[in-house]
Structure 1
């Protein structure tokens, strides 16, 4: 079952469509958040960052989990959390990013630290609670899959200043251009940092560990 989901994820879109995504997604992601981040002279986590960030990213959201239950950010973010916005029909970008995040969670566990990976769909039309649940479970048994109404997803996306836009298509196999950052959120501190796609699982685990230690 899980293997079938992975195969479907990688094969739903033709090669030409993948090329479109790579052009649109990375153009949207490259440097898109750079202008949003500024310095903070009293940043308690400064030693953990590779760049300065502002404290106005993140915030309350209300989404739907795999069981069809409405949950809030406080229900979901109960420990250090790696938050990613994507969609299950994504042909290659999302699966690789989500797998990287899952591997970082395992590395942290080996180091004695517990963290949660969260996947938020920005494609609620296709990503039902069951679909996001199966997708999340494919990558990690701790991963939480979230979806919701378009309005709910918009609120969460705006809170984290993510970008997404569905491409026009004549069938259900449309692509969605979207930003590809992973956000580190702590229960008490909220959003503290973000990770680009090129960050490795080990590098991610190192930085998450730094934030956890600094917060304790």
Structure 2
């Protein structure tokens, strides 16, 4: 992908492994007020400007979320298993964080960015996101726009051949990010763990 190398991808996978291990040792939510130190993704070349279309059919830019933390997950609504489960886990963790600290949670915008813009129209995304959280926003756009934002976030995706042109699968990088108020990368979020792990990680970084 433009502007990225396979070395970037290898670094991200190592960060993912580190992040998964770090979650097991993170402080419980009750200690979130203590200084957690430098975010694990500080300085990483992840993220960048984008212009996409929201589930309400409106143009959305990355600058629209200035001052907000962002949970970003790339997937697609026709995914038969992994994406819905990942999003369910992430939003369950986010809901728990809302109960723990509503004021901090209000500073977070969860985003679902499709890697299948051909089928994921705004209406399809709106129906999908409504299943998980009222504040989860689905984003789509042209294929070029999706490629650009995926490249910026080191997300790889590829449409698979299918005998039925409407029933294809899309292979993609499975990753969830917590981005900071200025769009800076903060941490990776586990999609596999219990909601408490996700809530604790959010409590660790969201201020």
State the TM-score, normalized to the length of structure 2. Answer: 0.77
Matched with 1:191 is 185
Distance 1:150-1:205 versus aligned 2 partners, 3 A rule: same
Q: How far apart are the structure 1 equivalents of 2:136 and 2:157?
A: 22
Q: How far apart are the structure 2 equivalents of 1:189 and 1:178?
A: 22
Q: How far apart are the structure 2 equivalents of 1:186 and 1:108?
A: 16
Deviation at 1:197, TM superposition (A): 3.1
* CA RMSD, 1 decimal: 2.5
Q: How far apart are the structure 2 equivalents of 1:142 and 1:77?
A: 16
Q: Which consecutive unaligned segments of at least 5 residues does structure 1 have?
A: 1-29, 38-44
- What secondary structure sits across from 2:131 in the alignment? helix
Q: Which consecutive unaligned segments of at least 5 residues does structure 2 have?
A: 1-8, 17-34
Distance 1:188-1:52 versus aligned 2 partners, 3 A rule: closer
Matched with 1:178 is 172
Bigger relative contact order, structure 1 or 2 (CA pairs below 8 A, ≥6 apart): 2
Are 2:101 and 1:107 equivalent residues in the alignment? no
Describe the superposition over 1:34-92 as per-residue Cα deviations: whole angstroms up to 9, x where unpaired. Answer: 2578xxxxxxx86375x566421011111100121111012146522210000000011
Are 2:76 and 1:71 equivalent residues in the alignment? no
Q: How far apart are the structure 2 equivalents of 1:78 and 1:155?
A: 23
Q: Contact 1:117/1:142 (CA < 8 Å) preserved in 2?
A: yes
Deviation at 1:167, TM superposition (A): 0.7
Matched with 1:25 is none
Matches within 5 A, 1:141-156: 141-156=134-149
What is the aligned length?
A: 177
Q: Contact 2:190/2:198 (CA < 8 Å) preserved in 1?
A: no
